[in-house]
Structure 1
Amino acid sequence: MASQHSAAESSQAQDSIDLHIARWGREVSGLVPELEGTVTRMQMLVRHLQQRKEAALARHGLKLWEYEILWRLRSAGEPYRMTPTRLAQGLGVHPATLTNRLDRLQSAGLITREHAPEDRRSLLVGLTPQGAATWAAVIDDQREAEGALLAPLDKKELNHLAALLRVVTLAVEEDGPPLMPYID
């Protein structure tokens, strides 16, 4: 469990990134401690969350690509179905790659493939109840890991952090669409 320190207390304590900055500050002229510390901490926290996600996926017998297909179908909204073409585009994979992946997920009972009622030549990929339950279980594990990661912050600090990250995100998004769109 994470220790509960206020932001003021934590700003006085040194973490591993402070040691990294001290070491590299001697080696790299022009190193800006605030920039290096912020970026390196963000990278470390993303790796931490990625490790927790990988552990959750393993607990539920999923590979990342399997989870991403389930996530994309769930993001379509009820009835959690879409065409293989739209699914491939949303995932950024070649349709032939997707076909093999869908075969494996269908064999595992996580998805269905059926003809579209309005056009029998078109297929729809959908979540099965088992696929939806598996997706939900992974999401619950991720929510728990994210909550544990941010538990040292009180609500005001968490809102402040979210607002600061929004400023940076908006600046990045001015340069073009995000690498991984969260909204279709």
Structure 2
Amino acid sequence: MPDKTEQDKEVEQTNSGVKKEGNWKEIAEFGEQVEEALEDTAEDSIEKFGDWRPKLEESESDVKRKTVDEAVSHEKKLEEKTNGVKEDLKQASDKMAEAGKKATMKELPDKEIIEPSEEAARPFYSRVVGLIRRIEQAIYSWVTLRFNPYYLDTEDFSVDIRDRKGGKFEMDVSVLEEEKREQLQDNFREDN
């Protein structure tokens, strides 16, 4: 890791946090320092940042992929429950048969009708959501990130990385809560 005082001179204090311009290696090292500076104050957010931030062994395309993954819809519970079209429809059919038996015995088959309806819809819902996710990924990859920085938003802070051309990048870290922002900025002050 580079000499802290040499690194700190290049870190700019902003109204919302800190930012740094440099080559990919310098930005990766800055991300590591930000993670260390915030790890005690924003545990869940810092874990997300630790996964997303650029690493020395990664390329810009790795961060692009991670940005897309963070931005698109994540699997819904109903999507995770599906066992596939055949299996879900078989289970729904079996439960509808139970509902029919119950109805012939003059009992209300409420539960037996609701559950099969959900089971029959599951595989179709899963496919539609999966298709929407792929469309979202394509839009983020080919359109959104082409004209915008790579970014990560968490509960505690947001980070973006802009390509400044000529092998230079700028990472900007904005922290919402004043106390956490000051703690981050203190870590990059020259007199520390």
TM-score (norm 1): 0.25
Higher relative contact order (CA 8 A, sep 6+): 2
- Select the structure of larger CA radius of gyration: 2
Structure with bigger strand share is 2
